């Protein structure tokens, strides 16, 4: 088991044992995170301050390891050492490393920002030549898409503050000998700006006590209060690096689909479009095979196993009739409840519940690959397989698992989907997100102390939804040359049409005949070591590859994943200079199902201010796909419609790397094959380059991937600003993300069912009175420990039979809180089972309405049973009558 690896340290070799080193940590002076949330996108500046405590010795090389949320785009890297400031720039990884080493050799202060190859959510900064007594301040800026939180029907923002222990051997000295940083905790400030009319209704943290100011942000505390602005800070000022910080934001209409177009400030005719969806549509559910794979390794000890048991009970009781199901437990070994999934019945349900109640964290280490492979191999081949993985996600070997799932999901004749529920603090988001992405499902995370039931039920609803795998996106443009605005004169552009591209091989030149080379030359010294040339430009390593034209429209993700209610999906289009250079009118999302075509048209809002943020988010998504053996290049064809992947089989891996580097350098986004490197523009002081004052530190051979910083023009108007300073400037105007288009509604097609239904009945109501919103109670505190238990819900769910009804028992009436005598009249009209079931349904709807997301499928099954029992009698009439006797 590896240990925590957060902190700034340098390496001291052991003079007596070769290869043995000690990591000497620097004291942390300050750690701050400032985030601006604008609608569903976040921009965070992480500022870390450390100091070299020695007044006589400089440090040749420091290394700083820290976590970031999976999928974020690192777009800025800056270091201040004493009075020196160095700005990072993205380069191809080998060139970045060469630039860094040369700067350090010259005595200059230099920095590298790298992503660990084996964990995309762990980053390392290396800084060379830190003078005696100098302070070290690093600023890292990153962008992220915010996940939809099914528990609150809002957005979820996470700042990882710990790299959790992960099972398995990390290839390097880093994981074997590091430990937690000691010292001051992290200070967190989150400012939220929502579009006009999207009133902020609640901000809460299930992980930490927070103070919330409604109406203003920390950037403009004295501005006129607005119901679309708010700010949150830690109530205690700072928190120790012990668990992830989670903030949930609930606001009106965050689930409305949007499409935003951004123009790049420096690349001519380059634009990027972001379409964001939280689908709301209903198709008849399927009856698949459902397998629950449950982590019972040692890391699940404590409060995590009870969370798994609670989740499984809700899962099992919410299953519909007609499915097959099984339970797999894993750790160092794995086992199944049954050799083959069984049909859902009363006996199989009873056996499963009894089995779940025996769960303990007694399966050893965490080995995920074997149980997932076994589940896929044992599946029924004639029906879809839905895998529900419950884990704390603490392993290092992720890529092997992702690659396997990618291959199986694509090649399987019967559809496969994998959903992940990350449990506990310190979950590896890279793992649970990566598994869900490779498995065409979605992930949710629940920290210790958070509510679980709503996430569980909504994940199960996603697993039971029909498979739609052919979504496509097209852009409609206004034809400026047309005299009419009829639809027939619209110009339509599709990303798939750009996948047929021109390729050229480098021509071999016909030189004059060369002089023969002697096969026996006495002047040749075969023992002489020739220096290996460094390819600083990165061009020579790709010289053997064919030239490939850039698509006019690059979509990321290339294949739109399955869309699920309560799970946000963003699709990006990079519209290059060769794309249609006209004003986009709308984007149209299409799909097909067994019940008919699906269609949604979304108007495009064009941002007034040029920016790079949507471009960088799009580039990061495209790069991540290439790193996962997906993306546009895997489906590209030449003029003769030959797949490039097959035509250039021996060189295709290098072609993928070259394309990822192109995107990273062009849009200044770090990744697996790109790195941020920061060097001084002028040579360092002579004192810093004096080797006699530097600790002699050896280079640790840890894989590298780096990111850099460049002055960023605004993405969303003046909120983010154009300054490269770490502190954004306050805005006097509303953010321009949605602008005047915020009042526009999306337009479902009349010819096909809409992907988005009418307004959700679960939507939050805006505040009814401004004084309460902006009054003296604008500073709020939320403590996750105050969440009340819910025994009645759990007991009612456990009492329900697998068919969906409740028996006429004392236990049922004890939960409902009435005696059997209250139901004498109903009992003379209907059977005892019917009355008991109607009472249970009425109790859910009347007394537990706030927890509807947790019991929705349970009640749906009960009403289905009542419909059969009552025949022509309306179910709602019987439930309403039962509700009148509930106090």
Domain boundary among 443, 464, 485: 464
Given a contact cutoff of 8 angstroms between Cβ atoms, the answer to whether 365 and 298 are in contact is yes
Q: List the single range of 135-139, 154-158, 176-180, 262-266 with lowest mean pLDDT.
A: 176-180
CA distances (Å), origin 570, targets 40, 258, 577, 622 = 10, 10, 23, 12
Sorted by sequence, the CB contacts under 8 Å of residue 479 that are 6+ apart come out as 489, 490, 491, 582
Domain membership flag for residue 549: no
Sorted by sequence, the CB contacts under 8 Å of residue 57 that are 6+ apart come out as 132, 693, 694, 695
Sorted by sequence, the CB contacts under 8 Å of residue 142 that are 6+ apart come out as 43, 44, 46, 68, 72, 73, 74, 75, 76
For 401, list phi and psi in degrees, rounded to 5. Answer: -65, -45
Output the pLDDT for position 723. Answer: 34
Domain membership flag for residue 118: no
β-pairing verdict for 135-145 and 73-81: antiparallel
Domain membership flag for residue 700: no
Sorted by sequence, the CB contacts under 8 Å of residue 680 that are 6+ apart come out as 84, 86, 103, 108, 109, 110
Domain boundary among 464, 492, 518: 464
Give the DSSP H or E segment for 792: helix 791-799
Give the DSSP H or E segment for 666: helix 652-667
Question: What's the number of CA atoms in the CB half-sphere (13 Å) around residue 524?
Answer: 6
Q: How far apart are CA 9 and CA 307, in angstroms?
A: 36
Domain membership flag for residue 350: yes
* Residue whose C-alpha is closest to residue 427's, from 207, 250, 113, 237: 207
Output the pLDDT for position 238. Answer: 65
Output the pLDDT for position 55. Answer: 84
Output the pLDDT for position 351. Answer: 95
Output the pLDDT for position 515. Answer: 77
Output the pLDDT for position 839. Answer: 94
Q: How far apart are CA 556 and CA 436, in angstroms?
A: 17
Sorted by sequence, the CB contacts under 8 Å of residue 516 that are 6+ apart come out as none
* Residue whose C-alpha is closest to residue 461's, from 320, 597, 598: 320
Given a contact cutoff of 8 angstroms between Cβ atoms, the answer to whether 606 and 273 are in contact is no
Tens of pLDDT, residues 414-426? 789 999 998 877 6
The answer to whether residue 825 scores a pLDDT higher than 90 is: no
The answer to whether residue 687 scores a pLDDT higher than 60 is: no
Q: Which two tokens stand for residue 65?
A: 């390891």
The answer to whether residue 301 scores a pLDDT higher than 80 is: yes
Give the chain's largest Cα–Cα span.
114
DSSP assignments along 403-428, one per residue: HHHHHHHHH-SS-EEEEEEEESTT--
The answer to whether residue 372 scores a pLDDT higher than 80 is: yes
Q: Which two tokens stand for residue 714?
A: 């605004």
Q: How far apart are CA 315 and CA 540, in angstroms?
A: 55
Tens of pLDDT, residues 858-886? 998 999 999 999 988 999 999 999 999 88
Domain membership flag for residue 712: no
The answer to whether residue 770 scores a pLDDT higher than 70 is: no
- More confidently predicted of 366 and 682: 366
Sorted by sequence, the CB contacts under 8 Å of residue 650 that are 6+ apart come out as none
The answer to whether residue 750 scores a pLDDT higher than 50 is: no
Given a contact cutoff of 8 angstroms between Cβ atoms, the answer to whether 541 and 605 are in contact is no
Query: Which H, E and C letters describe 497-509, residue by residue?
Result: HHHECCEECCCCC
Q: Could you tell me the CATH number of the domain that includes residue 375?
A: 3.40.50.410
Q: How far apart are CA 767 and CA 779, in angstroms?
A: 16
* Residue 734: pLDDT band with limits 50, 70, 90: very low
Which strand ranges, in their side-by-side order, compose the sheet holding 200-204? 147-149, 154-159, 245-251, 200-204
Tens of pLDDT, residues 800-809? 988 899 999 9
Helix (H, G, I), strand (E, B) or coil at 847: helix
Query: Which H, E and C letters describe 608-654, residue by residue?
Result: CCCCCHHHHHHHHHHHHHHHCCCCHHHHCECCCCCEHHHHCCCCHHH
Tens of pLDDT, residues 6-62? 566 777 776 676 667 677 777 667 888 999 998 888 999 988 888 888 888 888 888
Question: What's the number of CA atoms in the CB half-sphere (13 Å) around residue 518?
Answer: 5
- The structure's pTM equals 0.74
Domain residue limits at 372? 289-464
Output the pLDDT for position 118. Answer: 61
Domain boundary among 442, 464, 486: 464
The answer to whether residue 179 scores a pLDDT higher than 70 is: no
Helix (H, G, I), strand (E, B) or coil at 743: helix
Q: Around Cβ 377, how many Cβ atoms within 10 Å?
A: 8
Q: How far apart are CA 365 and CA 865, in angstroms?
A: 43
Sorted by sequence, the CB contacts under 8 Å of residue 810 that are 6+ apart come out as none
Q: Which alpha helices (DSSP H) does 485-557 contain, by range?
A: none
Given a contact cutoff of 8 angstroms between Cβ atoms, the answer to whether 39 and 200 are in contact is no
Q: Which two tokens stand for residue 166?
A: 């992960």
Q: How far apart are CA 569 and CA 561, in angstroms?
A: 8
Q: How far apart are CA 57 and CA 10, in angstroms?
A: 13
DSSP assignments along 268-293, one per residue: TT-EEEEEEE--B---PPP--EEEEE
Q: Around Cβ 333, how many Cβ atoms within 10 Å?
A: 13
- More confidently predicted of 868 and 446: 868
Output the pLDDT for position 533. Answer: 46
If you ran DSSP here, which 8-state letter would residue 562 be given? Answer: P
Output the pLDDT for position 706. Answer: 27
Helix (H, G, I), strand (E, B) or coil at 243: coil
The mean pLDDT value of the chain amounts to 78
Q: Around Cβ 724, how many Cβ atoms within 10 Å?
A: 14
Give the DSSP H or E segment for 9: strand 7-13
Q: Around Cβ 229, how many Cβ atoms within 10 Å?
A: 23
CA distances (Å), origin 112, targets 62, 252, 792 = 10, 42, 55
Given a contact cutoff of 8 angstroms between Cβ atoms, the answer to whether 702 and 116 are in contact is yes
The answer to whether residue 191 scores a pLDDT higher than 60 is: yes
Domain membership flag for residue 116: no
The answer to whether residue 171 scores a pLDDT higher than 50 is: no
Output the pLDDT for position 44. Answer: 92
Tens of pLDDT, residues 585-605? 999 998 888 778 888 899 999
β-pairing verdict for 779-782 and 7-13: unpaired
β-pairing verdict for 229-234 and 271-277: unpaired
Q: Which two tokens stand for residue 96?
A: 């970045």
- R_g (Cα) of the chain, nearest Å: 29
Query: Which H, E and C letters describe 793-840, residue by residue?
Result: HHHHHHHCCCCCCCCCCHHHHHHHCCCHHHHHHHHHHCCHHHHHHHHH
* Residue whose C-alpha is closest to residue 164's, from 6, 297, 331, 9: 6
Provide the percentage of residues in the chain whose pLDDT is more than 70: 76
Tens of pLDDT, residues 601-643? 999 999 888 999 899 999 999 998 898 888 899 899 988 899 9
If you ran DSSP here, which 8-state letter would residue 754 be given? Answer: B
Domain membership flag for residue 430: yes
Domain membership flag for residue 472: no
How many domains does one find in the chain? 2
Residue whose entry in the numeric block shows the structure tokens 């990321």? 556
Polymer length in residues for the chain = 887
Q: How far apart are CA 73 and CA 663, in angstroms?
A: 12
Output the pLDDT for position 754. Answer: 53
If you ran DSSP here, which 8-state letter would residue 820 be given? Answer: G
């Amino acid at each position: 088991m590896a240990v925590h690896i957060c902190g700034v340290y340098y390496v001291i070799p052991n003079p007596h044992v070769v290869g043995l080193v000690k990591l000497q940590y620097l004291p942390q002076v300050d750690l701050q995170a400032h985030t601006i949330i604008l609608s569903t996108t976040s921009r965070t500046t992480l500022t870390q301050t450390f100091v070299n405590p020695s007044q006589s010795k400089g440090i040749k090389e420091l290394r700083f390891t820290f976590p970031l949320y999976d999928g974020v785009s690192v777009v800025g890297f800056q270091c201040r050492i004493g009075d020196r400031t160095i700005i990072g720039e993205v380069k191809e990884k080998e060139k970045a490393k060469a630039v860094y080493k040369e700067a350090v050799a010259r005595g200059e202060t230099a920095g590298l920002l790298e992503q660990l190859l084996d964990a995309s959510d762990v980053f390392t900064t290396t800084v060379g030549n830190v003078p005696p007594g100098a302070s070290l301040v690093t600023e890292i800026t990153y962008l992220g898409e915010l996940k939809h939180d099914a528990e609150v029907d809002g957005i979820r923002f996470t700042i990882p503050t710990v790299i959790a222990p992960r099972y398995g051997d990390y290839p390097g000295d880093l994981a074997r000998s590091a430990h937690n940083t000691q010292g001051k905790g992290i200070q967190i400030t989150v400012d939220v700006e929502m579009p006009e009319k999207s009133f902020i209704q609640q901000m809460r943290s299930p992980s930490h006590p927070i103070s919330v100011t409604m109406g203003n942000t920390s950037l403009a505390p004295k501005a006129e209060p607005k119901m679309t602005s708010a700010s949150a800070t830690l109530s205690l000022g700072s928190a120790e690096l012990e668990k992830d910080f989670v903030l949930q934001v609930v606001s009106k209409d965050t689930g409305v689909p949007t499409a935003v177009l951004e123009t790049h400030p420096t690349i001519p005719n380059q634009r990027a479009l972001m379409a964001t969806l939280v689908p709301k549509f209903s198709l008849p559910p399927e009856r698949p095979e459902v397998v629950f794979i449950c982590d019972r390794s040692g890391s699940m000890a404590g409060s995590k196993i009870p969370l798994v048991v609670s989740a499984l009970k809700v899962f099992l009781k919410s299953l519909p009739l007609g499915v097959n199901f099984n339970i797999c437990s894993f750790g160092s070994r794995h086992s199944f409840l049954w050799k083959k999934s069984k049909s859902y019945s009363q006996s199989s349900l009873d056996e499963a519940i009894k089995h779940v109640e025996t769960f303990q964290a007694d399966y050893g280490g965490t080995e995920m690959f074997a149980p997932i492979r076994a589940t896929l191999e044992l599946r029924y081949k004639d029906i879809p397989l839905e895998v529900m993985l419950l884990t704390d996600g603490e392993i290092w070997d992720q890529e092997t698992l992702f690659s396997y799932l990618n291959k199986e999901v694509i090649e399987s004749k019967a559809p496969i989907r994998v959903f992940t529920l990350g449990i506990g603090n310190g979950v590896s988001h890279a793992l649970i997100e990566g598994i869900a992405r490779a498995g065409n499902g979605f992930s949710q995370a629940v920290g210790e102390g958070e509510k679980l039931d709503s996430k569980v039920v909504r994940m199960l609803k996603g697993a039971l939804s029909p498979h739609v795998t052919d979504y496509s996106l097209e852009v409609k443009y206004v034809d400026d040359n047309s005299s009419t605005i009829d639809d027939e004169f619209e110009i339509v552009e599709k990303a798939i049409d750009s996948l047929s591209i021109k390729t050229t091989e480098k021509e071999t030149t016909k030189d004059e005949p060369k002089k023969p080379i002697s096969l026996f030359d006495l002047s040749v010294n075969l023992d002489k070591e020739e220096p290996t040339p460094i390819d600083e430009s990165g061009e020579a390593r790709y010289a053997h590859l064919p030239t490939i034209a850039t698509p006019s429209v690059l979509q990321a993700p290339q294949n739109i994943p399955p869309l699920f209610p309560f799970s946000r999906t963003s699709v990006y289009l990079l519209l290059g200079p060769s794309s249609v250079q006209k004003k986009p009118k709308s984007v149209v999302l299409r799909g097909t199902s067994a019940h008919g075509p699906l269609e949604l048209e979304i108007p495009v809002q064009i941002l007034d201010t040029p920016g790079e943020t949507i471009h960088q988010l799009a580039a990061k998504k495209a790069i991540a796909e290439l790193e996962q053996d997906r993306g546009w290049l895997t489906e590209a064809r030449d003029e003769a419609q030959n797949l490039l992947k097959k035509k250039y089989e021996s060189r295709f891996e290098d072609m993928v790397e070259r394309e990822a580097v192109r995107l990273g350098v062009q849009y200044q986004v770090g990744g697996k094959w790109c790195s941020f490197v920061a060097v001084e523009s002028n040579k360092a002081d002579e004192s810093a380059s004096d080797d006699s004052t530097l600790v002699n530190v050896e280079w640790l051979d840890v894989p590298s991937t780096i990111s850099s910083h460049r002055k960023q023009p605004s993405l969303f108007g003046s909120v983010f600003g154009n300054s490269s300073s770490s502190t954004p400037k306050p805005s006097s105007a509303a953010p321009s993300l949605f602008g005047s288009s915020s009042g526009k509604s999306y337009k479902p097609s009349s010819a096909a069912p809409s992907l988005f239904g009418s307004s959700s009945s679960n939507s939050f109501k805006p505040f009814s009175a401004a004084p309460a919103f902006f009054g003296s109670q604008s500073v709020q505190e939320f403590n996750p420990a105050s969440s009340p238990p819910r025994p009645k819900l759990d007991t009612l769910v456990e009492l329900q039979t697998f068919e969906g009804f409740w028996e006429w028992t004392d236990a049922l009436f004890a939960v409902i809180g009435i005696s059997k005598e209250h139901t004498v009249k109903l009992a003379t009209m209907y059977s005892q089972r019917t009355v008991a079931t109607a009472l249970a349904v009425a109790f859910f709807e009347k007394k537990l309405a706030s927890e509807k997301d947790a019991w929705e499928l349970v009640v749906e099954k009960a009403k289905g049973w009542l419909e059969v029992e009552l025949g022509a009698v309306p179910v709602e009439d019987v439930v309403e009558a039962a509700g009148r006797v509930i106090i």
